[in-house]
Amino acid sequence: MTFKRIFTAVPALLLFFIVQSSVLKGLSLSGAIPNLLLVLTVGYGYLRGETSAMTVGFFSGLLLDIFGMNIIGLYALIYLYTGYLAGLCHTWYEPVEFRIPLAMIAVAEIIVLGLEFILFFVLNGDFGFAFYLKGKALPEFASTMLSSVILYPALLWIEERFVNVDPAEKKKKEDWNVSDLVENSDKKGAE
């Protein structure tokens, strides 16, 4: 179980980081880049709970710090707490529910963008909020949400297909999801 989680999380983390930093950045130095690592952190918070999300968040932030910041640990701290808070919502987890995780990603993105504005703009003596909103925050928010619509289902699919096949976990899922048993019972019947 734990092994499977790590085995899926590490490649996902590396892949998302590399795509975010190399592929998408190549398109433009100043344009809006979707915050894929945030999608991953919050997504795992909803799918797996605090522990996984915190770990993933911490290492996501650490990568961002190492490759982009003068102070190492700042993004790690932000993503760590994002992961923790997202992980608290794991109790609502239902495989068929898409609105909750997408809303969570939206909220997290807004919080992170707000923090970035305060940390990197206001503390540098730059109060151009209108510019920040128009030039950076809105495009980034839009692109993050767009990518999360594609990536969250992908994460969910991997999770349901390869990770959550543990019997105990399956039982837990059955306990929780009374309403959406149609799909699950089909699966059970097949096995």
Partner 1 sequence: MSPIVKQKEERRKIPPKYLLLLFTILCLGLMVFTFTGELSVAEDAAGTVIVPFQKGITALGSSLVAMVKERYTIEELKEENRRLSDEIDELNRQNAQLIQDGYELSELRRLYELDNSYDEYEKTGATIIAAGSGNRFNSFIIDKGRDDGIEKDMNVIAGSGLVGIVADTGKNWSRVNTIISNGTNVSAAVLHSGDNIIVSGDMELMQQGRIRFSQLFDKDENVHPGDKIVTSNISDKYLPGILIGYVASVDMDSNQLTYSGQITPVVDFEHLGYVLVIMEKKAPLED
Residues in touch with partner 1 (CB under 8 A): 14, 17-18, 20-23, 25-26, 28-30, 33, 35, 49-51, 54-55, 58, 61-77, 80-81, 84, 87, 91, 116, 120-121, 124, 126, 128, 131, 135-136, 140, 168, 172, 175-176, 178
- Give Cα separations from 178 to 63, 127, 163 (angstroms): 40, 50, 21
Minimum distance of partner 1 from residue 156's CB (angstroms) = 19
SS3 96: coil
Minimum distance of partner 1 from residue 72's CB (angstroms) = 5
Minimum distance of partner 1 from residue 157's CB (angstroms) = 23
Closer Cβ to partner 1, 14 or 153, answer by number? 14
Closer Cβ to partner 1, 141 or 152, answer by number? 141
Minimum distance of partner 1 from residue 3's CB (angstroms) = 14
Closer Cβ to partner 1, 29 or 190, answer by number? 29
Euclidean distance between CA atoms 20 and 112, whole angstroms: 16
Minimum distance of partner 1 from residue 27's CB (angstroms) = 9
Closer Cβ to partner 1, 172 or 188, answer by number? 172
